[in-house]
């Protein structure tokens, strides 16, 4: 008996009878790619633990710069310190409920204008679920994927399909 992955691959091969115009050659080379979606989304964040100069409930705003399987970078007017723990709400277009995350500041540096800061966050939880538990290798697309990426990029993909139903 074949394993479920082999069965799925065989079923997909039977369904897709694409006629190739040119021969394909197996290669294993590093490639760089981008996602054709605007990934700048609004984020609100607040300190998880009380800070001497800030109220625990005060929320700050920023704009995401990029995201990975286990982290994200955002830009804001607040300089954060390495080791700070924050709660983050990521607001996605077309989605009513923000993606709730929790993470630790890994770095923070001033941006080109000197008025805002790029902040790198190692994510610990997404919707209260540990991020590390949701990171895996996606066999079909040959990429490292995660629940974090699915929550954010999956939403963009769904929005794209809704906006452009016939590619």
Average pLDDT over every residue of 70-98? 89
The hierarchical CATH code for the domain 42-131 is: 2.40.10.220
pLDDT, tens digit (0-9, with 9 covering 90-100), for 15-71: 444 454 545 555 444 343 343 444 567 887 888 875 555 555 678 899 998 888 898
Judged by average pLDDT, the poorest of 55-59, 71-75, 143-147 is 55-59
Domain ranges of the chain: 42-131
Average pLDDT over every residue of 68-88? 91
CB count within 10 Å of CB 69 equals 19
Model confidence, pTM: 0.66
Phi (first) and psi of residue 159, to 5 degrees: -65, -40
């Amino acid at each position: 008996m074949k394993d479920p992955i082999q069965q799925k691959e065989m079923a997909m091969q039977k369904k897709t009878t694409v006629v190739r115009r040119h021969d394909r050659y197996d290669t294993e080379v590093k490639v760089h790619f981008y996602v054709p979606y605007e990934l700048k989304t609004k984020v609100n964040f607040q300190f998880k633990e009380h800070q001497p100069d800030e109220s625990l409930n005060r929320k700050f705003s920023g704009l995401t710069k990029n995201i990975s399987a286990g982290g994200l970078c955002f830009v804001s007017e607040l300089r954060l310190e390495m080791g700070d723990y924050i709660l983050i709400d990521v607001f996605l277009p077309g989605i009513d409920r923000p993606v709730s995350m929790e993470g630790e500041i890994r770095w923070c540096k001033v941006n080109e204008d000197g008025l805002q800061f790029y902040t790198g966050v190692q994510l610990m939880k997404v919707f209260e679920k540990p991020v590390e538990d949701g990171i895996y290798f996606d066999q079909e697309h040959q990429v490292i994927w995660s629940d974090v990426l699915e929550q954010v990029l999956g939403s963009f993909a769904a929005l794209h399909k809704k906006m452009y139903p016939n590619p």
